[in-house]
Structure formats: C-alpha cells, structure tokens
Amino acid sequence: MHILRINTKKKQEIIEITSLVKDIVKKAKIDSGICVVYVPHATAAIIVNENYDAALNEDIIKRLEKLVPSNADYRHDRIDNNAHAHIKASILGPSETIIIKDGELRLGRWQGIALCEFDGPRERDVYVEIIKK
Ligand code: ZN
C-alpha cells in the first residue's frame, strides 16, 4: 500500500490528486489490475469527476454546502462541531476504484481523482492500493 500525504489548505476544498496516483501506478509496472484510492478520515472523501474546469470543484463545494449547511442543529456538534463535514463525506464516500489496463488508469478523458476536504485545514493520508490481475 502507498500513502499520499496531502496538506489541505482550506476548511472545505477539492484537491486534484490524479498525477500523484498515476505516478504510483506507473511505478507498479503492472499491465492489468485495479487501483483503489481510499481516504481513512471521517470528514474527507474521494471522488472521480471532471478535472478540466476548476470552477466545477467550487460548484460542488457550494452545492453541498446548500444541501448540508455548516451550521445547523446537529447533535454531533456538541462533540467537535463538524457534523456537516461527516455528512458531506458520507454522501461522497471514502474511496474510488479505477481499472488499470495496459499499465494505465482507465479514466475517461475528462475524469480525474480528487480528495475532498470538509474539515480542514489538516494533514490527510490517502491510501493507494494496486491489485494485479
Ligand atoms: Zn466529528
């Protein structure tokens, strides 16, 4: 397993990690298999989506904030004031699985892999596991 250590900068943000994952896949030198990208934190998520227009990431953060406002009447906020971050992370999920074929990640032309931070800034680990076919 490989670990990517990412320092997030904002309270909520989406950080492109595609090239970091691609480097790990390249070094693994396998022809076919799968790549699992997993974040072991309860207030962060991993997504695969368009990475061409950075404004889309702002749209995703903004829309999630409308659906799940940072400040509402959450019971969990009595503990560490981040219920909204857990809910957003639950909606998106902690991992993505990408197929490796001919030694490369089979992402679509406009797709990238991103880490979503909902309770930053923090140091986050992202686990990358490559399983050979
Ligand atoms: Zn919490």
Instruction: Tell me how far the alpha carbon of residue 130 lies from the centroid of ligand 1, in angstroms.
Output: 30
Q: How far apart are alpha carbons 84 and 101 in whole angstroms? A: 37
Percent of the chain with pLDDT over 70: 100
Q: Tokens for 90?
A: 């639950």
Instruction: Tell me how far the alpha carbon of residue 121 lies from the centroid of ligand 1, in angstroms.
Output: 15
Instruction: Tell me how far the alpha carbon of residue 42 lies from the centroid of ligand 1, in angstroms.
Output: 8
**DSSP-assigned letter for residue 37:** E
Task: For residues 14-33, give the mean pLDDT.
Answer: 97
Query: Which residues are placed with Cβ below 5 angstroms of ligand 1, an ion?
Result: 80, 82
Query: What's the confidence (pLDDT) of residue 52?
Result: 86
Q: Tokens for 21?
A: 């994952």
Instruction: Tell me how far the alpha carbon of residue 88 lies from the centroid of ligand 1, in angstroms.
Output: 12
pTM, entire model: 0.96
Percent of the chain with pLDDT over 90: 97
pLDDT tens, position by position, 70-88: 999 999 999 999 999 999 9
